[in-house]
Amino acid sequence: MKKIFFIIIPAAILLFNFSATAAGTFDVRQFGAKGDGRTLDTEAIQKTLDECGSAGGGIVRLVPGTYLSKPISLHSNTTLQLDEGAKLKATDNPQDFLKPGRTLEGAKGSSDFVAFISGKNLTDIAITGKGIIDGSGVRWWIPAEDARSKNPGFTSPRPRMILLEDCRNIKIIGVTLVNSPSFHIVPKRCENVLIEGVTIRAPSISPNTDGIDPGESRNVCISKCVIDVGDDNIAIKSGRADPAHPNAASENITVTDCTFLHGHGMSIGSETAGGVSNVTVQRCRFENLASGIRIKSARGKGGLVENISYSDITMKNVKIPINISSYYQDSPQGDSAQLVTPLTPVYRNIRIKNVTAASPYDGDDFVDRITDFLYYYYAYHAYLEPRAAGFIVGLPECEISDIVLENVNIKASKGMTIQNAKDVKLNNVKIETQTGTPLKLDNAQVVQSATEHKLRIILVGDSTVTDSNGWGAGFKRYLTGNIECINKARNGRSSKSFINEGRWTEALALKGDYYLIQFGHNDEPGKGERSTDPNTTYREFMTRYIDETIAIGAKPILVTSLVRRQWDKSGSGKINSSLTPYVETVKQLAKEKNVPLVDLHARSKELCEQWGKEKCFKFSPIKDNNQIDNTHLNAKGSVIFAHLVVEELRRAVPELQPYLRDEPAPDANLAH
């Protein structure tokens, strides 16, 4: 099988040489802006931007207030900062957005308009802050839908909210964007783009209000965004070839830790003529979408789409969880092979792993179905939005090839159609349908794994994780039969000694899918050679666990230490935990490394304090000297605290939910 390598662009690279904040701050009010929501502040805002640009760059600041404005343009080395409580609101007169010499009646596309915020051939630009940019889209949407009702499929031309063309080193961080006339953020022919922590909202029936649409752009990182819109949440486009990159005008794009609430999904296309390569989508949550994972194009606008990876994705109420088709807005029914041209869609080398999805059954969500009907009747005059597990559909003359689905669990009213496809592998794929068969194959070469692949969890840590003295045995009882758990934790080990004794090497050799890692008890002072410093050596060893787990293709899950029941001597019923410095380091690393965190320390401390000292004796072992062991757990305690781990896992690693029981299995049923 062909090996693929996906490039993840670290945020640090995207910030390299960024110096927009070096030359001072320019307050738009000092240049005449009123911010009262009535006065037109365009001239003052643009003058501020121009002065900032002439000074070599800096911060253009909007303090709290509502700033009504026509289109504005940015300069290099400039940060547009919207403070919390600040709103930059577009005027809603279409004449304000037309380019010179253009008319509304003669407009053919978005290029006839000026974007609300634009920039071209710029370097080192940013839009940041906790404020709001409002595109005043309602005025545009109503005539757009009216035009589409008269001419099905017609898209009324409208301006973009933010359009950046041929720019380098872009940051858009923290802001909220609402109600764009059409697409909200469009980096076009740009490089080194970071979009992080941005919220984008428009009504679910607002037409063509895409969230983020990178076009012919490279080295793009989209992270921790919430996108709730009326069309594609993200759409990676590549409408024209780039001579410098003939097979991939759009390349090296990552989407991580995002939440999509309404919209048409995580899309590639429909314009793919310039090629799309090296796209990675990880740890995202989709709800109430038309499609989840979507690749769309058609004859006459297609190109090469390859090296695409999706992993660790959960979907709820997504009508088509996997929707990959070379028939955008067309039907494959009765189609025959045609001549292959440079504009024929080619999809290959696609990986979809660790996906849990629920598509609504027919008859469910009555209100949602009525909304579908009204929207699609008036907007498209076409059909009720389909509901199915998915479609993987190529062309007769150009089959989709080399696609792997692994650890995919979908519940849907109908199954998945695979048509005009070859070298399709389904490993541990489960599709539950209300009607019909799970798979419908037509001119498709599909190989399903003969035996179901068992996911493997490896537990690594000290005695409080072991089966004999910790929560390990109880944890295994919460696992379903199609996942394997191997406990490599050992009594008396610290983050340092576990590695130095070679035990970590042994754990890595087991090739687990997930590694739960908990150290701290034996890292504390007074443990001799085992002790580590929470701010230096402990951090270094824990970082090594994370990096080396990722290096073998597995997922590290950090677990803060089970609380040691060190009761306050004043009788307050509170616990004074000596483990806090180590716990804080683990939490910091989880955030810095963007890995899942199970905060067992906080949960176990809360539970113990709630129960009180006497009740906690029930799950505490008795030492040889008949003293209460306030560190370890008996069999009952193992189950109690394992339940806390499982609850945290459901939140931190949603794709594991199908493998976790609601109640522990009886001991006799354990197969581990």
User: Tokens representing 438?
Assistant: 């799970």
Averaged over 627-643, what is the pLDDT?
Answer: 94
Averaged over 229-251, what is the pLDDT?
Answer: 92
pLDDT of residue 399: 96
pLDDT of residue 361: 63
**Can you say whether residue 407 is alpha, beta or left, with left for phi > 0 and alpha for psi between -120 and 50 degrees?**
left
State whether 466 and 438 are in the same domain: no
State whether 468 and 422 are in the same domain: no
Write out the DSSP string of 402-432: EEEEEEEEEEESS-EEEEEEEEEEEEEEEEE
Select which of 75, 184, 264, 521 is catalytic. 264
Q: Would the pLDDT of 670 be above 50?
A: no
User: Considering the domain boundaries, does residue 498 fall inside one?
Assistant: yes
Percent of the chain with pLDDT over 70: 91
Q: For the stretch 225-246, what's the b/e string if a residue is b when 16 or more beta carbons lie within 10 angstroms of its beta carbon?
A: bbbbbbbbbbbbbbbebbeebe
User: Residue 145 — φ and ψ, nearest 5°?
Assistant: -70, -35
Residue-wise pLDDT tens digits, 352-389: 999 999 988 655 454 454 444 444 444 443 334 578 99
Of the residues 448, 475, 506, the one at which a domain ends? 448
CB atoms within 10 A of CB 434: 16
Domain span holding position 160: 16-448
CATH assignment of the domain containing 537? 3.40.50.1110
d(CA 389, CA 83): 43
Q: Would the pLDDT of 453 be above 70?
A: no
User: Residue 187 — φ and ψ, nearest 5°?
Assistant: -85, 120
Look at the chain and count its residues.
672
SS3 260: strand
User: Considering the domain boundaries, does residue 633 fall inside one?
Assistant: yes
State whether 465 and 423 are in the same domain: no
State whether 422 and 534 are in the same domain: no
pLDDT of residue 153: 65
d(CA 141, CA 179): 10
State whether 316 and 400 are in the same domain: yes
Lowest mean pLDDT among 114-128, 135-149, 485-499: 135-149
Of the residues 428, 448, 468, the one at which a domain ends? 448
State whether 303 and 433 are in the same domain: yes
State whether 478 and 616 are in the same domain: yes
Strand partners, 221: 194, 254
pLDDT of residue 375: 46
User: Considering the domain boundaries, does residue 199 fall inside one?
Assistant: yes
User: Considering the domain boundaries, does residue 130 fall inside one?
Assistant: yes
For residue 332, what are the CA distances in angstroms to 154, 394, 449? 22, 9, 28
Q: How many CA atoms lie within 13 A of 395 on its CB side?
A: 23
Averaged over 143-170, what is the pLDDT?
Answer: 86
User: Considering the domain boundaries, does residue 391 fall inside one?
Assistant: yes
Burial class (CB in 10 A: 0-12, 13-18, 19+), 529: exposed
Answer yes or no: 601 catalytic: no
Nearest to 304 by CA among 231, 245, 262: 245
Q: Would the pLDDT of 147 be above 90?
A: no
State whether 337 and 389 are in the same domain: yes
How many structural domains are present in the chain? 2
User: Considering the domain boundaries, does residue 1 fall inside one?
Assistant: no
Q: Would the pLDDT of 104 be above 90?
A: no
User: Considering the domain boundaries, does residue 5 fall inside one?
Assistant: no
pLDDT of residue 654: 85
The dihedral formed by the CA atoms of 57, 63, 69 and 72, expressed in degrees to the nearest 10:
10
The dihedral formed by the CA atoms of 195, 198, 201 and 206, expressed in degrees to the nearest 10:
-10
State whether 482 and 596 are in the same domain: yes
Write out the DSSP string of 340-369: --TTS-EEEEEEEEEEEEEPPPTTS-HHHH
Answer yes or no: 453 catalytic: no
Q: Would the pLDDT of 479 be above 80?
A: yes
> Residue 155 — pLDDT band, cuts 50, 70, 90?
confident
pLDDT of residue 280: 96
State whether 38 and 122 are in the same domain: yes
d(CA 86, CA 65): 5
CATH assignment of the domain containing 432? 2.160.20.10
Averaged over 321-326, what is the pLDDT?
Answer: 97
> Residue 589 — pLDDT band, cuts 50, 70, 90?
very high
Averaged over 569-597, what is the pLDDT?
Answer: 94
Sequence letter at residue 654: P
SS3 615: helix
110 DSSP 8-state letter? G
Select which of 134, 231, 242, 513 is catalytic. 231
Q: Would the pLDDT of 651 be above 50?
A: yes
Average pLDDT, whole number, for the chain?
90
State whether 331 and 476 are in the same domain: no
pLDDT of residue 103: 87
pLDDT of residue 315: 96
Of the residues 400, 421, 448, the one at which a domain ends? 448
User: Considering the domain boundaries, does residue 6 fall inside one?
Assistant: no
pLDDT of residue 23: 61
Q: Would the pLDDT of 6 be above 50?
A: no
pLDDT of residue 570: 87
67 DSSP 8-state letter? E
Q: Would the pLDDT of 437 be above 90?
A: no
Report yes or no: 374 and 394 within 8 Å, Cβ to Cβ: no
pLDDT of residue 302: 94
CA 350 to mean position of chain CA atoms: 18
State whether 260 and 405 are in the same domain: yes
Q: Would the pLDDT of 350 be above 80?
A: yes
539 DSSP 8-state letter? H
